[in-house]
């Protein structure tokens, strides 16, 4: 349920921004902009979970690698202290 709400919000915001910018660029002929804005908004609302999933996955992977690297450094330092 929350994914749908976020998706609709992102799609609507993106559609609004495209339409608002299109009035700045060419205020006389807006029909192509309506179609483009609706299409881009729909694609954004459906694809946002994939983008967020990739971002969160990368972030978790980086954190895991950092903790592994710290542990390796700790063990190497501990081995150097022993005679």
Averaged confidence pLDDT in the chain: 82
- pLDDT at position 83 is 65
- pLDDT at position 71 is 95
Sorted by sequence, the CB contacts under 8 Å of residue 56 that are 6+ apart come out as none
| pLDDT, tens digit (0-9, with 9 covering 90-100), for 39-67 | 887 787 778 888 888 999 999 999 999 99
**How buried is 41 (Cβ within 10 angstroms: 0-12 exposed, 13-18 middle, 19+ buried)?**
buried
| pLDDT, tens digit (0-9, with 9 covering 90-100), for 9-18 | 888 888 888 7
- pLDDT at position 30 is 65
- pLDDT at position 35 is 76
């Amino acid at each position: 349920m929350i994914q749908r709400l976020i998706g609709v919000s992102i799609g609507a915001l993106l559609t609004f921004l495209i339409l608002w910018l299109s009035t700045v660029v060419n205020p006389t002929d807006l029909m192509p902009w309506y179609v483009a804005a609706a299409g881009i908004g729909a694609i954004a609302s459906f694809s946002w979970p994939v983008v967020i999933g990739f971002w969160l996955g990368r972030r978790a992977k980086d954190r895991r690698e950092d903790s592994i690297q710290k542990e390796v450094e700790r063990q190497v330092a501990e081995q150097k202290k022993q005679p």
